[in-house]
A = this chain, B = another copy of it.
Amino acid sequence: MALKTMSAEEAARLIKNNDNVGFSGFTAAGCPKVVPAALAKYAEEEHAKGNPFKISVFTGASTGDYIDGALSRAKAVSRRTPYQSNKDMRAAINNEEVAYFDMHLSQLAQEIRYGFFGKINVAVIEACEVTEAGEIVPTCGVGISPTACRLADIVIVELNSCHPKAMRGMHDIVEFQDPPHRKAIEIFKPDDRIGADCIKVDPKKIVVVETDTPNDGGGFAPVDEVTAKIGDNVANFFVKEMAEGRMPKTFLPIQSGVGNVANAVLAAMGDNKDIPDFNVYTEVIQDAVIGLMKTGRVKFASGCSLTVSNPVLNEIYNNLDFFKEKVVLRPSEFSNNPGIVRRLGLISINTALEADIFGNINSTHVLGTKMMNGIGGSGDFTRSAYVSIFVTPSVAKGGAISAFVPFVSHVDHSEHSVKVIISEYGIADLRGKSPRQRAECIIDNCVHPDYRPLLREYLASCPVGHTPINLNNTFAFHKALMETGDMKNAKIEK
C-alpha cells in the first residue's frame, strides 16, 4: 500500500485547535520545518476569520525557528514543554501568553505515556526515510519521536532529502515499558545499542510531506580568553582527581552542556595529554565532539542529537561509514536517563546562569522572573553524575553582573546536587563541606575579585546558623542591578 502524500499546507490542516502535537527533534536538529511553518500560516488564517487556533507543543528540547518562532509569532501556542530557546517563544512565555512548563527532558516521554498531559493527537516527524511498512528513520535528533509517533492518531512525516537514507543505522530507537512492567536498560557502555534503527508505526497513520529544507546550522562563538581558562581549569581538575585516586585512571564518560563554554571545555580536554581518550554520553553532540572524534580523542559519542554546523554535518554525511561506528542517537528518555547516568558514572559539566555562595544553581530565570530557556537535561545529568560540575564566567555584562550572588533568584539545582563549581578564576570543590565552608570556598576560588569583598560583607552580616543567610540582603545584588544597572552597587544591611 502506498503511503499518503500531501503538501505541507494540506498536512497542516490535519491539526485542529486545542490539539496536543508532538514534534520530532532535539534542538533545531531533527525538527520538522515546512509543516510547522504551514501550520503557523493556517493558524493566522483561522485567527483572521475569528476562529480560535492554539495547540500544545511537545518536543524533545528546543526547536528551530520553524516551530517555536513561527508558531509563537502566529499566537498558535497555548502550552509549551519541555524546553525552548527561541526569542519569540521566550517573549511569549514571559508575556504569559504561552503557559510553559519547564521539565527535566528525560521525564517528558514517560509522562506523556502516563497520560499526565492528555492525548497526543498528531506527531510531526522529520525523516530521512519512510517505508510503506511504516518504518520512519529520523534525521539529526530523536527527542520524544518514538512516543509521539506511537500515541498519535496521525503521523505527518516530513521526508527531507537533505538527509541521506544512508543515515539509517545511526539511531537506537526504543521506548520504555511503563511501570509496573519496566525492564532493565541494557546500556553498560556508551556504545551499547538496545533498540531498532527506525520508528515503526501503522502505515495507515502516516502522511508524507516531501521537502528539501536544510537545517538551521548555527555555530558558536569561538573560544575566548575567559572560556579557555574555564576549560583549562576543568581539565586540570580531572587530572588532579585521577592523580589522587578519586576518578578512575581509565576516565569516565563526559556529559557536556550546550554552548560556548561547553565547547571550550571540550577543546581544553582534547588538548590535555594527561586525560586519556574518552567517551561522551550526552544529549547534544556539538561540533567540538566531532572535531575530537576525528583526532581520536573522543572514542564514541552517544547523544540525542547531532547539533552541528552545516559544514560539519556535510562532513558527517560524506563519511557515514566512519561516523556511524562512533555516534549513536537515542530518544531523550535514554540519552538523559538518570539511572544510566549513575550506572555509567558520568562526569556532568553544565553551565550556570547564576550560582549562590552555597552552591545552589539558577539555570533558567533572569532576576527570578524572566525565563531564559529552561532546565533542559542539566537536572537529569547533574543529580545522578559521578561528579557534577557547573561552569560559569565569574561576571557578565562587562562586570555589572556577578555570576555569584548571596542567594539565587531561582533554584534549579540545589546544593545537594552540585559538587564542583568552576569559573575562570578557579575551582570550588564543594564535596563534604558545610554551607559556610562552601561559601568561603566559592568566594576564594571562583568569584571575580571585584565582588569578593561584597560577598564577604554579606556573609559577615548573616546570623550564625547552618546556612548563614540574611533575609534582608538575600537579593541585594539583584536589586542593585535593577535599580542602578550594576551589582557592585549592592548595599549590605546588618
Query: Footprint of B on A, CB under 8 Å?
Result: 79, 81, 93-96, 99-104, 111, 114-117, 178-180, 182-186, 188-189, 244-248, 250, 252-253, 338-339, 342-345, 360, 365, 367-371, 375, 379, 383-384, 386-387, 409-417, 419, 431-434, 436-437, 462-469, 471-472, 474-475, 478-479, 482
Q: Contact at A416–B104, with CB atoms within 8 Å?
A: yes
The CA of A246 and the CA of B118, in the complex, are separated in Å by: 9
Contact of A471 among B252, B367, B384, B436 (CB under 8 A): B367
Question: Are A115 and B245 in contact, with the CB atoms below 8 A?
Answer: yes
Closest B residue to A375 by beta carbon equals B416
Contacts of A183 in B (CB 8 A): 188
Q: Once the chains bind, are A338 and B345 in contact (CB under 8 Å)?
A: no
Residues of chain B with a CB closer than 8 A to A468's CB: 369
Whether A96 and B436, one on each chain, are in contact in the complex, defined by CB atoms closer than 8 angstroms, is yes
Residues from chain B with Cβ under 8 Å of A479 in the complex? 471-472
Bound CA span A252–B248, Å: 38
The reply to whether B115 and A246 form a contact with Cβ atoms under 8 Å apart is yes
Q: How many copies does the complex hold?
A: 2
Q: Is the CB of B179 within 8 A of A386?
A: yes
- Nearest B-chain residue to A245, judged by Cβ: B115
Q: How far is the CB of A24 from chain B (nearest CB, A)?
A: 21
CA distance A367 to B462 in the complex (A): 12
Contact A466 B96 (CB under 8 A): yes
User: If the complex has contacts A103-B416, A416-B412, A471-B479, are A180 and B252 also in contact, measured as CB distance less than 8 A?
Assistant: yes
In the complex, what distance in Å separates the CA atom of A291 from the CA atom of B4?
61
Q: What residues of B have a CB within 8 angstroms of the CB of A466 in the complex?
A: 93-94, 96, 100, 365, 369-371
A437 pairs with B370, CB closer than 8 A: no
Q: Is the CB of B180 within 8 A of A434?
A: no
When the two chains form their complex, are residues A179 and B344 in contact, meaning their CB atoms are under 8 A apart? yes
Which residues from B are CB-within-8-Å of A375?
A: 416
Contact A434 B464 (CB under 8 A): no
Look across to chain B and name the residue whose beta carbon is closest to the beta carbon of A56. Answer: B432
Q: Select from chain B the residue with minimum beta-carbon distance to A102.
A: B416
Q: Shortest beta-carbon distance, A415 to chain B, in Å?
A: 8
How far is it, in angstroms, between the C-alpha of A116 and the C-alpha of B99 when the chains are bound? 42
CB neighbours of A185 from chain B (8 A): 184
Cβ contacts under 8 Å, A182 to chain B? 188, 342-345
Assuming the contacts A114-B386, A182-B345, A338-B384, asked whether A471 and B478 have C-beta atoms less than 8 A apart, the reply is: yes
Sample of 18 more A-B contacts, CB < 8 Å, known A178-B345, A180-B248, A338-B383: A94-B464, A94-B465, A96-B436, A111-B431, A116-B419, A179-B248, A180-B252, A182-B344, A338-B339, A338-B342, A339-B343, A368-B471, A369-B467, A369-B469, A379-B414, A379-B416, A413-B414, A414-B414
